[in-house]
Amino acid sequence: MFNKLETVVNRYEQVGIELTRPDVATNNELFRKLMKEHSELTPIVEKYREYTAACKAEKEALEILNEAGGDKELKELAEEELKEAKENIAVFSDELKILLLPKDPNDEKNVIVEIRGGAGGEEAALFAGSLYRMYTMYAESRRWNIEVVNENETELGGYKEVSFMIEGAGAYSRLKFESGVHRVQRVPDTETQGRIHTSTVTVAVLPEAEDVELEINPADLKIDTFRSSGAGGQHINKTSSAIRVTHLPTGTVVECQDERSQFKNKDKALKILRSRLLDVAQREHDEAIASDRKAQVGTGDRSERIRTYNYPQGRVTDHRIGLTLYKLDQILNGDLDEVVDGLITHYRAEALKAEQEN
């Protein structure tokens, strides 16, 4: 670990020198790249400096203890400083191990969230609407921007499908563990016998793909236009501004009808298509290089049931980490941090374990 830290410190100092060069300051692309690297290295270097300061404090406290002789007051003071230094060394060491873990290159990206009603018909569609509200409220609490891409509402106000973009620093790092099957257990309003029904909703969280990451051949695309409409034929557009893009080689279909402008809908649809295709490519790559991904929470499979929302008991359970919270209302109102933090902590622990085994 310490060899790696010395390399990081050397690189940090080198980048700092390069940023002062006039030729770098006039090269916007290089300057942005170096500034990004500098900001990523800064927390590691600062924590390493805290660690070395604690090591120095430990050494000085030991020297004072050895020289204290019969001075009881000085000895007690030195023992107290030694204890504090050792505690700091342990804490800073653990924090450095986490900071040195390989970073997910997608963590700082914006995300595209796709929610679809699964088993349960109208009840599943209604819960899809509840999850859509939960994620938008969570995004608002973190001051992220939300932009609807496509929505297919039902007569009762649920969603067969809804897609939206969330733009904000670290959006993917906080939401990437939400992909999977979300299960709801509750008594529907239409149930006269008071029986609890179980329905499911699937959630997909995709990092927004940049143009340079995946090139799409225009010849591989079939683009259709149609008139957008809401539930029950409401909000019918007089012009064919809605867009349907089909990627012929994979059969992937994306629709966008949120904007009145055909051009804007096409741009959004292509963004989602690029992100979906990149997500598939990354998954295939991961499976090819590692059959056993130790640093992963669950399998990451979107067919995996990841969480249950039980209304009668006011309970939410994340099955991947065994976390149960009796705060259903707060979570559905966007208070997701405790769940997200639990998942991130678990992921880091698994990643540290994998690093130590390798």
Does one domain contain both 344 and 245? yes
Does one domain contain both 50 and 145? no
Count of positions (residues) in the chain: 358
Q: Is the pTM of this model over 0.85?
A: no
Does one domain contain both 250 and 150? yes
Q: What is the pLDDT of residue 287?
A: 60
Q: What angle do CA 176, 182, 188 make, to 5 degrees?
A: 150
Query: Could you tell me the CATH number of the domain that includes residue 12?
Result: 1.20.58
Distance CA 75, CA 9 (A): 36
> Does residue 121 fall inside a structural domain?
yes
Structural domain of 288: 111-350
Domain count, the chain: 2
- Classified as helix, coil or strand, 231 is helix
**Which domain-ending residue is among 54, 72, 99?**
99
Distance CA 163, CA 174 (A): 18
Q: Walk along the chain (358 residues) in steps of 10 and give the mean pLDDT of each run.
A: 83 92 90 88 91 93 85 88 92 85 81 89 91 96 90 86 90 92 85 80 86 68 72 47 82 76 76 80 59 38 77 94 94 94 86 70
Does one domain contain both 136 and 266? yes
- Nearest alpha-carbon partner for 223 in 279, 268, 280: 268
Residue holding tokens 């976390």?
323
> Does residue 356 fall inside a structural domain?
no
Does one domain contain both 53 and 117? no
Does one domain contain both 92 and 119? no
Does one domain contain both 170 and 282? yes
Does one domain contain both 244 and 153? yes
Helix (H) / strand (E) containing 165? strand 159-167
Does one domain contain both 9 and 91? yes
**Is residue 92 within 8 Å of residue 147, measured between CB atoms?**
no
Q: What is the pLDDT of residue 196?
A: 85
Does one domain contain both 165 and 293? yes
Q: What one-character DSSP code corresponds to residue 257? A: -
**Which domain-ending residue is among 65, 99, 133?**
99
**Which domain-ending residue is among 99, 129, 152?**
99
Phi-psi region of 170 (alpha: psi -120 to 50; beta: other; left: phi over 0): left
Does one domain contain both 330 and 208? yes
Burial of 272 (0-12, 13-18, 19+ CB in 10 A): buried
> Does residue 104 fall inside a structural domain?
no
DSSP per residue over 261-306, as a string? -HHHHHHHHHHHHHHHHHHHHHHHHHHHH-SS-TTSSS---TTSEE
Q: What is the pLDDT of residue 293?
A: 37
Does one domain contain both 323 and 187? yes
